[in-house]
Structure 1
Amino acid sequence: MKSLSVFFKDVGSAVRNPKVLIPVIAILFIPILYSGIYLAAYWDPYGHVDEMPVAVVNLDKGAELEGKSLHVGSDLVDELKKNADFKWDFVSASQAKEGMENDKYYMQITIPENFSSQATTLLDDKPEPADLIYEPNGNYSFVGAQIGKTAIKDLKAKVSAKVTESYAETLLDKFSEVSDGLAEAGDGAGDLNTGAGKLDDGAVKLKDNLAKLASGTLELQDGLSPLSDGVNALHTGATKLESGTSNLVSGLQQLQTAATSQLQSGADQLKDGSAKLETGLKSSVDGAGKLKAGLQSSEQGSAKLSEGLQSAVQGSGTLATGLQSAVDGSSKVADGAQSVADGLKQLAASNPELAASEDVQKLLAASSAVAEGSKQLHESEQKLAQGADQLHQGNQQLAAGASELHGGQEQLLTGANQLVDGQQQLLAGAGQLSQGGAKLSDGLKQFSGKLGEAASGGTLLADGAKQLGSGTTALQTGVGKLSGGVSSLTDGSKQLGDGAGKLADGLTELKDGSSELATKLNDAAQKTSEVKKTDDVVNMFAEPVNTSENTTENVSNYGTGLTPFFLSIGLFVGSLISTIVLKMRETSVPGATGWNRFVSRTLVFGFVSIIQSVIVASFMLYGLGLETHSVPLFYLFTIFTGLTFMFIVQALVTWLDLPGRYVVILLLVFQLAASAGTFPVELIPSWLQAFSPWLPMTHSIMGFKAVVSSGNFDVMWHQVGILAIYAGVSVLLTLAFFLWNGRRRKKEVEVAESGQVVTA
C-alpha cells in the first residue's frame, strides 16, 4: 500500500505542477506525431498517381500488315487518353525534353517512328520487337521514378495486347488458307496412298522376279563351267589348227614349187611315150597277122606274152587306183613291155625264120620302143609319186587307159589268134593313152593353178587360225570375266532380292502411313476450318491470360502495409521521449525505499505507455481508417508492445542515465535497419540479418502484421510471449537497480546519523 501511495503522490504532484503536466501530456502524443502524421501523409500515395505528370511523345509513322494500315503509336495514345493512371501530357520531343530538365515531368514515354513497322516483323525470318522508350526522372523523385517503372510494365502489356490483336486477325485469316491447303494435302495424301498401293504390288512382283533372277543366275553359273571347258578345248584346237595350217601352207608351197614341175615333166614324157607307143603299135599291126601264126606255134612265148600282158593289166589297174600307186603300175607296165620284148626276142630266137621277117623286126623294134617308153613312163611316174594325192582326176583317166591296155594284153594272152585284134586294141589304147596324157598335162596345169590358190587359201586359213587362236584367248578371258560377273550378279541378285523384300515392307508401311497421313490431314483441315475469326477469339489471342487477384492475403493500401513498422517506431520513440520528461530514479516522497521507488516509477512509465498506446491505436483505427481483423486484440497488442518498449528503455536509462539514452538511440537505429519493417529481411546485408531475431521491434512488427493483415492470431500470441520475455527481463533489471540503489542510500543515511560526513 505504501508503494501505491508513493505512486499516487507522484501523480498528484505532476498534476498540480503545470510545468510537469504539460510535458507529460505532450509525450502522450509523441507516437501520433512520429507515426500517425507520416502514415496520414502517405496513407494511400498510389491512389493519387493520376496527379503525376508524364510526358508522351508519339513519333510513330505507321506501317502496313497484310495490306492493312497499322498505327500502333496512335492506338497507344488513344488508349492512354482513356485511362487515368497518370496525368498524361501529349507533347513534342522538344517540349518533353525541356519539361524533364525543368522537373516538370516524372517520366517521359517516347513512341519511336518505326514502332509500327517493327511490330509487323513477327512473321519475318528475323523479327524485331517494337521498342517503347521510357525515361524516368529519378533526379526529380526516386520514388516517382519507381512508380513510373511499375506503371510502364502495365502499359507494355496493353500495347503488346493491341499488337497481338492485329497479329491474331492476320493469323486467323491465314487459318482458312491453311485449312484449304490441308484439304488439298489430304487429297494428295490419298493419291499417294493409291500410288503406294500400286508400288507395293509392283514391289511384290519385283521381289518374285528377282528371286527368279537369282535362281537363273545360279543355273547360269553352273552352265558356265562346261562353256569354260569347251572354250579351253576350242582354244587348244585352234592352236593346233594354226600349227597344222602353217604346215599345210608350207607343204602346199613345196608341192607347188617342186611337185608341179616334176609332174608336168613326167606328164610330158608320158605324152611323148604314148605317142611313140601309138606309132610302134601302128607298125606292129601289119606284123600282127604274121605274128598270129608264130603265136599259135609257140605256147611258151604266148604264155610269157600273156604273163607280161597280165602284168601290164595289173600295172594299168594299179594306175587306175590312183596316182599314188602309179609308180608300181608303170613299173609293171615296163616289166610287161620288157617281157613282151623278151618274149618276141625269144620267139624270134626260137624261130629264125620269124626273126628274119621284117615285120618281126619291126615288132621287135616296136616292143623295144614300148619297153623304152614304159621305162620312161616308169621314171615319169616315179616323179609323179610325190603329187599322187593331188592327181586323182588325172589318174582316173590314166587308169582307164591302163585298163584298156590291160584288156589288150589279156586279148594278146588269149592266144595268138586274137593278136591282131589285141594289137588293134593296143593301138586304140595307145591313142587313148596319148589323149589321156594330153588331158593329164592340161589337168596338171590346172592342178598347178589350183595348188597356188590352195597355197593362198592355206595362208588365209593360217591367218584365220591365228585370229581364231587370238579370239579363243579373248574368249577364255571373257568367259572368266563372265564367270566372275555371273558370281557378282548372283550375289547382287540375292542382295537385290533382300532389298526388294525390304522395299516391299517399306512400301507397305508407306501405304499405311500415307493412309494415316491422309486421314490426319483431312482431320486437321476439318479442325482448322472450325477456327473462326470472331472478336472474342481475337481478344483471346491478344490477351490469353487474365490476372485475378486473391485479396485474402492482400493489404489494402500503402499506409496499412507500413502501419506495423511506423507504429512500432512511434511507440519506441514515445518511450524514449518519456525518459526525458519524467524522473527515472527519484519520487516526490523523500526517503522512499528502493522498492517503493521501483513500484512508483514502473507504474508511472507503464501508465504513460498505456495512454500513448490507446491514443495512437485510436488514431490509427478511427483517424486514418485502419482495418484490422480484431480491434480488441489490436488495442491489446499495441498496449503490450508499448509497455515492452517502455520497460526496455526504462531499464537502460535507469541504469545508465544519459549514456542509456544513447544506447536506446543505437538500438532504435539497428531496429530501423534490421527489423524488416519496409523491405524483406532477406534483402538486407547478412550481418544485419543476424541481429534481426534478437530485436524486440522485429517481433512487434510481426505481431502487428498478424493482427492487422493476416489475422493469424497464433502468430500474434507467439510474439506476445517473446515480447513478454523482453519486458520481464527489463522489469527485473530495473528492480535490481532500485534495490541496489536503495541499500546504498540506506548505508549513506546510517553513516550520516552516526556523525560521519557523507558527501551527497
Structure 2
Amino acid sequence: MNKSIQIYKRDIKNIVINGSSAIIILGLIILPSLYAWLNIAASWNPYGKTNQIPVAIVNEDQGATAGNRSFNAGKELVEQLKDNHDMDWKFTTRAKALDRLNNGDYFSVIIIPKGFSKELATVTSGQPQRAKMDYFVNEKINSIAPKITSKGASVLVESMSSKFIGTVNGIIFDIMNRLGVTMQEELPDIENFKNLVFTLERDLPSIFNKLQRAQKDLNSAGQILQKAKKDLPEAKALTQDGLSTINQTLTFINNAETKINSLKPQVRNDVEKIQHIATSAQDLITALNNDNFTPATLTDMHNKLNQQASTAIEKLTAIHTALITLQQNSNDQQTTEDRQALDKALQQTANAQQAMETLKQNIQSNTDQVQGLSERVGKLREFSDTALTGLTNFTNEFDNVIQPTIDSHINHIKEMLTGTKGILTDIQSTFPEITRLLNVSDNALASANQGLQKAIADYPLIHSRVQKLANQIRSFEKETNLNSVIQLLINNPTAEKTFFEEPIKMKEHRVFPIPNYGTGMAPFYSVLAIWVGGLLLVSLLATDVEDKQYTVREVYFGKLLTFWTIGLLQALIIVLGDLFLLKVSVQAPLPFLLFSLFISIVFMTIVYTLVSVFGNIGKALSIVLLVLQLAGSGGTYPVVLLPKFFQIINPYLPFTYAISLARESIGGIIWQKVILDLTFLGGVLLFILLFGSIFKKQMQTMTLKMTEKSRKSGLFH
C-alpha cells in the first residue's frame, strides 16, 4: 500500500503544479454538478406552470330544459373557466381552434357540441344518455404536454359532471324534501290507508261471497224485471179495463143515486102510508073495543085490516128490495160502520115485514076462528100493537139511519171511485216512464252483472295483490320505521346539492412530504451526476502508470485513490449546490452528504475498475451499465410501471440503492432501508475491489494488446 500511496501523492502533486492539469481536473470536478443542477432546476416545478399551456375551448351548446328549468351547461362551463387559471384557456371558434391546433399554437382543443345540454337533460327521461365532448390533441408537439392537457380535460369533465350531478341531486332532494313534508302532514292518512289495506285483506273473502250472492240476486232481479216487462202490456190493459169499469160504475152510481133520489119521496110516502095504515088499524081496533059491534062489523073490520096489512107489506117489500140492491152495488166500498147501519136497516125492514105478515095471518086466522067477539078484538088489538111497534121502529130507523146512511154511502162511493179513477189515470200516464225505466234497469242490470262477473273473475288477482301489499307493509314496518323515512326525506336540498357535487373530500396526509418536483427528482439526478462524473474521469485520466517499478495491484489501488479523491470532490460540489444553490428541501442534510460521498466511492470504484481491467471496453461497459440503470433503477418512473425485464434487473442495480439512500435523506430517514441500501452498496464495493485486484493482473496483457491495436487504427487514443 505504501507504493500505492506514493502513486496517489505523485498524481496529486502533478495536478497542483501543472496549471493545465489543474484546470482540467477542476472542470471535471464541477461538470457533473452542472449536469445535476441544470436537470434539477429544469424540472423544479413544471406542473406549476400549466397555466401557460394554451388549450382552446369551443362552445357550440344550444342549451336545453330539464324539470321546467332552462340551462346551458356549455355556457356555464365557459363562465367557470374564465375564472380558472390551471391552463391558458382560449375561447374561440371550431375552425380557428382546429387550424391553430394543427399549426402547434394550441396543444389541445375541447369542443362542447350543440346537443351537450340536451343530452344531459335526458337524465330526467326514461333513457338517459351520456353527454359527450370532443377532445383534440396534437401529440407531435411534446410527449408530456398531451398528458397534462388530457389530465386537464379529464378534470374539466369531472368538474362539470360533479356540478351537474349536484344540480340534478339538488332538484331531486328538493322534491324529496317536499315529499317528506307532505308525508309528514299526511301521516294519519297513510296510517288509515295501511289499516284499510289490512281491513281489506281481512274482509276480501266475505266481500267475494257477497259479490257471488249479489250476482245471484241480480240474476233473480233480471228474471223479475223480464217478467215485469212481459206483464206490463197486461197491466196497461187491466188499468184501461179498470178505468172503463170505474167509469161504468160511476155512471151506474149516478143513475142509482138519481133513482134513489127519485125513490126517496116515494119511500117516504110509503113509510108514511104504512104508518097511517098502522094508526088507522089501531084506531079501528080501539073503536071496536069501545063501541058495540056486531059480527058483520067485525068481519068488515077484518077485511079492512087485511087490505091495509097487504098494502103495508107491499110497501115494505119495495123498500127492502131497494136496500138489498144498494147493499149489492156498494159492498166493496162500504166502511164497517156503513155496512153495520145498512144491515141494521135491512133487519128493521125485515122485522116490519114480518110483523105485518104476522098481523095479516092473525087477522085471517082470527076471522076463521069462532070465538067470542071480545076475545077476537083483544087478539086484534094485541097484533095491532105489535105491528104498530115494529112499524114505528122502522119509521124511526128510516128517518134517523137508513136515509142518512144511503146518502152518505152514495157520496162516499162516488168519492172513492173518483179517487180511484184519478189514481188509475195517473198510473196510466206513468206507463211510458215505467217502460223506459224498465229498459234502463234492464241495461243497468246487464252492466252490473258484467261488472260483477269481472269483479268475481278478477278476485284471485286482487286478493293476491292486496295480500302481497299487506305483507310488504308488514315487512316494511319490521325493517324500517316510517317516521325515520320521513325524517330522512326532510332534508336541506342546498346542503345535499353541495354534498353530491363533492360527495367524497379527500383529506391528504403527506407522509415524507416533498415540496416540489425538482426536490423529488434531486436523488435521481444527483446520483446520475456522480456516475457521469466517474465516466468523465475515466475518459480523460489514465488508469495506468508508465513506471515499471510498480506492480499491477499497486497501480490499481494507487490510481483508485486519485479517482476516489476527485470523485469525492465531485459529490461534495453536487451536494452543496443542491443544498445552498438550488435550495433543495433535505430533511437530513448531513446524512445526504455522507451518503453521497459513499455513493461516489462505490460508483467511482465500479467505473474505474471496469476501465482499469478492460480498457476501452470497460468504458463501453460503464456506459451500457449507465443506460441500464437509467431505465431500470426507478429513478423517474415507479418500478411497477417498467417493462418486465427492468423489473427483474432492478434489485441488482447499484443505482436502485444509491437513489434510495438519497431519497431517505431528502424525504425522511427509515433506518432499516438505509441499512439495507448501505449493505448492498458495501457488498458491491468489496466485490469490485476484489475483482479489480485479482483480474487486473490477469487481464493486463490482453488489455494492452487490444489498446495498442486500437491506437494503431488511428481512431482511438
TM-score higher than 0.5 here?
A: yes
1:679 to 614, 618, 637: 637
Partner in structure 2 of residue 581 of structure 1? 540
Cα offset, 1:698, TM superposition: 1.7
Partner in structure 1 of residue 526 of structure 2? 567
CA distance in 2, matches of 1:742, 1:97: 65
Partner in structure 1 of residue 327 of structure 2? none
Partner in structure 1 of residue 483 of structure 2? 523
Q: TM-score, normalised by structure 1?
A: 0.55
Letter in 1 for 2:11: D
Cα offset, 1:181, TM superposition: 5.7
Find the residue that maps to 1:120 and give its secondary structure. helix
Identify the range of structure 1 (708-717 vs 101-110) with the bigger mean alpha-carbon deviation.
Answer: 708-717
Letter in 1 for 2:25: V
CA distances 1:549-604 after superposition (whole Å, capped 9, x unpaired): 221244332222222222222111111110122220117x6623445433421210
Identify the range of structure 1 (589-598 vs 7-16) with the bigger mean alpha-carbon deviation.
Answer: 589-598
CA distance in 2, matches of 1:203, 1:98: 76
Percent identical across equivalent pairs? 25
What are the equivalent positions in structure 2 for 1:419-434 lying under 5 Å apart? none
CA distance in 2, matches of 1:685, 1:200: 70
RMSD: 3.6
Q: 1:106 and 2:107 equivalent?
A: yes
CA distance in 2, matches of 1:665, 1:636: 26
What are the equivalent positions in structure 2 for 1:317-396 lying under 5 Å apart? none
Letter in 1 for 2:526: L
Partner in structure 2 of residue 378 of structure 1? none
Find the residue that maps to 1:109 and give its secondary structure. strand
Find the residue that maps to 2:144 and give its secondary structure. helix
CA distance in 1, matches of 2:88, 2:123: 33
Note closer, same or farther for the CA distance 1:660–1:519 as it changes in structure 2 (3 Å cut): closer
Cα offset, 1:121, TM superposition: 1.5
Structure 1 runs not aligned, ≥5 long = 210-498, 745-760
CA distance in 2, matches of 1:155, 1:15: 62
Partner in structure 1 of residue 241 of structure 2? none
CA distance in 1, matches of 2:129, 2:570: 62
Find the residue that maps to 2:504 and give its secondary structure. coil
Aligned residues, how many? 454
Cα offset, 1:192, TM superposition: 3.8
What are the equivalent positions in structure 2 for 1:172-571 lying under 5 Å apart? 172-179=173-180, 182=183, 186-187=187-188, 189-196=190-197, 198-199=199-200, 202=203, 510=470, 513=473, 523=483, 526-527=486-487, 530-534=490-494, 536-571=495-530
Contact conserved, 1:27 with 1:577, CA < 8 A, in 2? Answer: yes
CA distances 1:607-641 after superposition (whole Å, capped 9, x unpaired): 01100111111111222221122001101111111
CA distance in 2, matches of 1:115, 1:702: 49
Cα offset, 1:26, TM superposition: 1.2
CA distances 1:708-759 after superposition (whole Å, capped 9, x unpaired): 2343232122111111111112122233356669999xxxxxxxxxxxxxxx
CA distances 1:152-209 after superposition (whole Å, capped 9, x unpaired): 2221222122212321332133124423664587555433444456557657989999
Note closer, same or farther for the CA distance 1:12–1:183 as it changes in structure 2 (3 Å cut): same
Q: 1:726 and 2:700 equivalent?
A: no
Q: TM-score, normalised by structure 2?
A: 0.58
Note closer, same or farther for the CA distance 1:510–1:92 as it changes in structure 2 (3 Å cut): closer
Contact conserved, 1:576 with 1:649, CA < 8 A, in 2? Answer: yes
Letter in 2 for 1:67: N
CA distance in 2, matches of 1:89, 1:70: 23
Contact conserved, 1:7 with 1:603, CA < 8 A, in 2? Answer: yes
CA distances 1:55-88 after superposition (whole Å, capped 9, x unpaired): 1111111122222221211111111111210111
CA distance in 2, matches of 1:727, 1:171: 69
Note closer, same or farther for the CA distance 1:516–1:567 as it changes in structure 2 (3 Å cut): closer
CA distance in 2, matches of 1:132, 1:634: 49
Find the residue that maps to 2:532 and give its secondary structure. helix
Partner in structure 2 of residue 659 of structure 1? 617
Letter in 1 for 2:650: S
Find the residue that maps to 1:673 and give its secondary structure. helix
Structure 2 runs not aligned, ≥5 long = 211-458, 703-717
1:717 to 647, 665, 675: 675
Partner in structure 2 of residue 641 of structure 1? 599
Partner in structure 1 of residue 118 of structure 2? 117
Contact conserved, 1:185 with 1:521, CA < 8 A, in 2? Answer: no
Q: 1:703 and 2:661 equivalent?
A: yes
1:624 to 582, 585, 589: 582
Letter in 1 for 2:62: K
CA distances 1:232-268 after superposition (whole Å, capped 9, x unpaired): xxxxxxxxxxxxxxxxxxxxxxxxxxxxxxxxxxxxx
What are the equivalent positions in structure 2 for 1:101-180 lying under 5 Å apart? 101-179=102-180
Bigger-Rg structure (1/2): 1
What are the equivalent positions in structure 2 for 1:49-64 lying under 5 Å apart? 49-64=50-65
CA distance in 2, matches of 1:80, 1:552: 33
Find the residue that maps to 2:493 and give its secondary structure. coil
Partner in structure 2 of residue 238 of structure 1? none
Find the residue that maps to 1:35 and give its secondary structure. helix
CA distances 1:648-705 after superposition (whole Å, capped 9, x unpaired): 1111111111111111111111112222222222232323322222221122122222
CA distance in 1, matches of 2:472, 2:171: 36
Contact conserved, 1:189 with 1:514, CA < 8 A, in 2? Answer: no
Cα offset, 1:44, TM superposition: 1.0
CA distances 1:354-393 after superposition (whole Å, capped 9, x unpaired): xxxxxxxxxxxxxxxxxxxxxxxxxxxxxxxxxxxxxxxx
Partner in structure 2 of residue 411 of structure 1? none
Note closer, same or farther for the CA distance 1:185–1:520 as it changes in structure 2 (3 Å cut): farther
Partner in structure 1 of residue 356 of structure 2? none
